[in-house]
Amino acid sequence: MTANGDKTARVWDNAGHEVAVLPGHTDCALSAAFSPDGEKVVTVSVDNTARVWQVTTGREVAVLRGHTAWVNSAAFSRDGRLLVTAGGDRAARVWEAATGRELQVLRGPGNGVVMCAAFSPDGQWVVTAGLDGTARVWDVTKGRAVAVLGGHTAIVNSAAFSPDGRWVVTASGDNTARVWDVGTESTVAVFRGHSAEVRSAAFSPDGTRVVTASLDETARVWEAATGREMMVLGGFASGVRSAAFSRDGRLIITGSDDSARLWDARTGAELLRRFSFDSSDWAAVAPDGRYDGSQPGFGRLHYALGLQTIPVTTFLEKFYVPELTEAILSGAPYTGPDLRHGFGLPPAVRIVSPRSGDTVSATVTVTVEVRDQGGGVEEPRLFDNGTRVGGATRSGVAREKCPEGKTADSTTAVCFTVELLPGSDTLEATAFSVGRAEAERARVIVDVRGGSASESAKPTSILYLLAVGINHYQNSRYDLNYARADAAAFADSLRIGAKDLFAKVVPDTLFDQAATGLAIKTAFVGIIKKARPEDTFVFYYAGHGTVPVQDTTYYLVPSDVTQMNDVSQLAQQALSNTQLRALFDAVQARKRLMLVDACHAGAIVEAYGSRGPVEARALTELANASGFLIVTATEKHQLASEVEKLGHGVFTYALLQAMSQPPRRKRMVVAIVNETEQLMRTLTTKYHGAEERPEIHLNGQNWPLIMR
């Protein structure tokens, strides 16, 4: 859960995907907490209210009105029936969670704002922490204080019961935390060691340890009964504002201004660091170099090596791990590559000619300098408007070492002769180290002669479409309901919408048992032979996709595959992500779009649960290497009666709606994709009860796809 300054709270799953957005507050949301069963959340706000929400639907269950100032925090009782809120109006209030009915007002004799409140494990008591430097324990039924815990010399920021309810731990602005015996109101232990305000303190599930968070840029773990410091969690760049143990006691999570971090509670080793840049972009990085996140999110992160900065994305091929958070939370051991053991620096790449601002002819030789920085040099690449060009598989484009060859300072000159389209053109070059660390891309923008022609001139380019939809497989257990209808409807919509933008639309459709692996590859080969650089290629696939249990390769599954767990059969008949990359590299069209609606029935999802991160990784690498737009949607639910109302899968229905939006105008492909995403989020919330969104991998130019 996150509470945000945009007046919303958001729920995320273990993989880092947004599950629900909770709007409703009229001012900043300050904090949020789950109910013990995880089915509800409570949020509090500067708008003087607390609100209870259903997690799966995002539905508002109750609004708690009664505070006359902002609400700092809220917490459920262990049985989930009651809520307690702490307010800036110097009171804590107890509520019935299901209805929002106020049951008690807990107001002490002091003048302090109540910073937080929490129930005892049995729900009979509430502890409050106050601005007046005291904590108070209250009888919930009678609404009166039964213990006053005084001893701190500054504000008490937080208070919490031990698992057995006998003790309370408090965190204070006097740089200490204390454990108290509730029955005697006496101090059990004082935790001294922080050099700045302690913002939070929490017991471990077994009650033997306490973790504290401080503005001195550390979190610390202590022995609860004695106050002995057990470990220091450091390395923060700002104050630590919260810390807590996981329910099983294995992990500690800390929150600070820059990130949330996961730690091994036994060793104190940092396991993961998560950054949230805004409501949608985020990144997670493990100390060993593995990372995950939204593409704009992890694109913001860099490593510092002396005065040199290295983008995290440099290490995509080895260290990008979708659903990294879930993998770390599972506790599964990791034995893969570790960035801390050292790595060879990626090459330094420079485009020598042409230079930015140059006017060039349609056929141009691009000279690229690649300098070895210690990690070796492999696979220089050139991209034209985001699309990869060059390489042995591309007809009409030659890549060879330039006459000057390799120099004494380990610099290699590589020449690419390429056909460019008229108008403004962006050229990018890159290369890899032997360890597959990618260089930061060099970029120049040139003007290609012949670009002044009127847009109203008769179109000369061709749109090639390959649409595959498979309802019926040779193994009928794999049959789907809407894949063929989806592919046919998309092909018809694109053919009609694109006819005024292209000299010709050449559709090729393969449905059901005609969509064998050989037929799909043969159709690709036909397009490879005909497509020119100025043309456009769209590939649409609706059917099964899978990752066999004993393999890590992602496959699109044609109709003649009878066993999706048979690796040898998949290798012979299916279409792997490696083959997809090779086929797309061979298509000369610079404008390319792939849409994959790999729909899984429930049994398939359960049988191939690991397919998600491998699929995401494969498609991200494919987009990064080849340079085109990929949009994928894997429906996690298939509710026949609800989808039947649409007549299509949710993803394709959203796509068709986005393509048909008025008024009549050129519709850019990125705009269509963005509208599809918004519609899909709305539709899945309506029909599935939870928001889902397509995966979008953009590594190329934007261009008009249809005229509608």
Q: Which two tokens stand for residue 555?
A: 């496959």
The answer to whether residues 373 and 345 touch, using CB atoms and an 8 Å cutoff, is: yes
DSSP character at residue 511: E
> Which pLDDT does position 401 carry in this prediction?
57
CA 508 to chain centre: 34
The order of strands in the sheet holding 282-285 is 240-245, 251-256, 260-264, 270-276, 282-285, 291-293
d(CA 388, CA 377): 18
The 3-state DSSP class for residue 113 equals coil
- The model carries a pTM of 0.71
Length of the chain: 708
Which is nearest to 494 in space by CA: 647, 669, 645? 669
Q: Which two tokens stand for residue 106?
A: 């807990």
Cβ-defined contacts of 520-529 (< 8 Å, 24+): 520/466, 520/468, 520/556, 520/558, 520/575, 521/575, 521/579, 521/583, 523/466, 524/466, 524/583, 524/586, 524/587, 527/464, 527/466, 527/587, 528/583, 528/586, 528/587, 528/588
Q: What are phi and psi of 494, to 5 degrees?
A: -70, -40
> Which pLDDT does position 28 carry in this prediction?
92
Residue 123, amino acid: G
Q: Cα–Cα distances in Å, from 446 out to 337, 392, 399, 421, 453?
A: 40, 25, 20, 11, 17
DSSP H/E element including 327: helix 324-329
d(CA 62, CA 118): 20
> Which pLDDT does position 643 carry in this prediction?
52
Yes or no: domain 348-448 corresponds to CATH 2.60.40.650: yes
Domains of the chain, residue spans:
278-343, 348-448, 462-638+694-699
Sort 121 into a burial class: Cβ within 10 Å, 0-12 / 13-18 / 19+.
middle
> Which pLDDT does position 617 carry in this prediction?
61
The answer to whether residues 115 and 157 touch, using CB atoms and an 8 Å cutoff, is: yes
DSSP character at residue 702: -
> Which pLDDT does position 241 carry in this prediction?
93
Residue 637, amino acid: H
The 3-state DSSP class for residue 477 equals helix
The answer to whether residues 7 and 25 touch, using CB atoms and an 8 Å cutoff, is: yes
- Domain 462-638+694-699 fold is Rossmann fold (3.40.50)
CA 586 to chain centre: 31
Q: Which two tokens stand for residue 370?
A: 């690649």
> Which pLDDT does position 642 carry in this prediction?
37
Q: What are phi and psi of 297, to 5 degrees?
A: -70, -60
Sort 367 into a burial class: Cβ within 10 Å, 0-12 / 13-18 / 19+.
middle
Q: What is the mean pLDDT of each run of 10 residues along the chain (708 residues)?
A: 82 72 90 93 96 89 95 96 96 95 89 91 96 95 94 96 97 98 96 97 97 98 97 95 94 90 96 84 92 86 83 88 87 89 90 94 91 90 80 38 57 86 88 90 90 59 96 92 92 92 95 96 96 92 81 85 90 89 85 76 28 55 60 46 67 88 69 84 76 67 74
| Max intra-chain CA distance, the chain | 91
The answer to whether residues 291 and 324 touch, using CB atoms and an 8 Å cutoff, is: yes
